[in-house]
Amino acid sequence: MLNNLENDSIFTPEQVLENRGRVAIFIDGSNLFYAALQLGIEIDYTKLLCRLTGGSRLLRSFFYTGVDRTNEKQQGFLLWMRRNGYRVIAKDLVQLPDGSKKANLDVEIAVDMMALVDSYDTAVLVSGDGDLAYAVNSVSYRGVRVEVVSLRSMTSDSLINVSDRYIDLEAIKEDIQKTPRQSYPYRPLSSVSFLEDPRLSDGHLDIQE
């Protein structure tokens, strides 16, 4: 049904882009990382930024992530992100009783969306977390257009229902993934379970077919 509504839009894709105005991007790093794992792709963050901006005027692109301060490779990745168009908001990972580590940045995302609401016309939220639905609904009432980008199987219906446009990551994965054999300096890490990758021993992740 959603796809039918998208296809029946009275605006052409070009008109939609023209009407986006100033764009602010809010990326839930952990949510995106696990979505990429589900899709079996590596994200090219330069391509991602270009795809999400879509030729519109970019106000700022925020990347929210949990961090392990002792992991040099992850720190290197975040440094690369800061130097390539992203404003990184990091929070230390907290160890849970089951031994896993997690950092919840929903509050930070919601606060930044509200704080900057008068500075942008379109918000692009890369997350499927239903806890952000209230914040999305709030900025919508302030006149902001909200686009939600995430993997459908990991996305709350409540979040889709309050957005102006929903884009499934699977539909754009060809536009945002790294090409075969492309070398990328660092890999985003949101949990210690992904830190021990032997391919990262030299600080580089080589993607091979």
pLDDT in tens, 185-207: 544 444 333 333 433 333 333 33
Per-residue confidence at 69, pLDDT binned at 50, 70, 90?
confident
Mean of the pLDDT values across residues 61-76? 89
Quote the percentage of the chain above a pLDDT of 70: 77
Mean of the pLDDT values across residues 17-41? 90
Could you tell me the CA-to-CA distances from 24 to 49, 121, 167 in Å, in that order? 11, 8, 16
Task: Please provide residue 66's backbone torsions phi and psi, each rounded to the nearest 5 degrees.
Answer: -80, 150
At residue 16, does pLDDT exceed 70?
no
Mean of the pLDDT values across residues 175-190? 63
At residue 184, does pLDDT exceed 60?
no
Helix (H, G, I), strand (E, B) or coil at 182: coil
For residue 113, what pLDDT is reported? 97
Q: Where are the alpha helices (DSSP H) in 167-209?
A: 169-176
Mean of the pLDDT values across residues 24-53? 94
At residue 2, does pLDDT exceed 50?
no
Per-residue confidence at 19, pLDDT binned at 50, 70, 90?
confident
At residue 118, does pLDDT exceed 60?
yes
How many C-beta neighbours within 10 Å does residue 75 have?
16
Task: Please provide residue 138's backbone torsions phi and psi, each rounded to the nearest 5 degrees.
Answer: -65, -45
For residue 207, what pLDDT is reported? 32
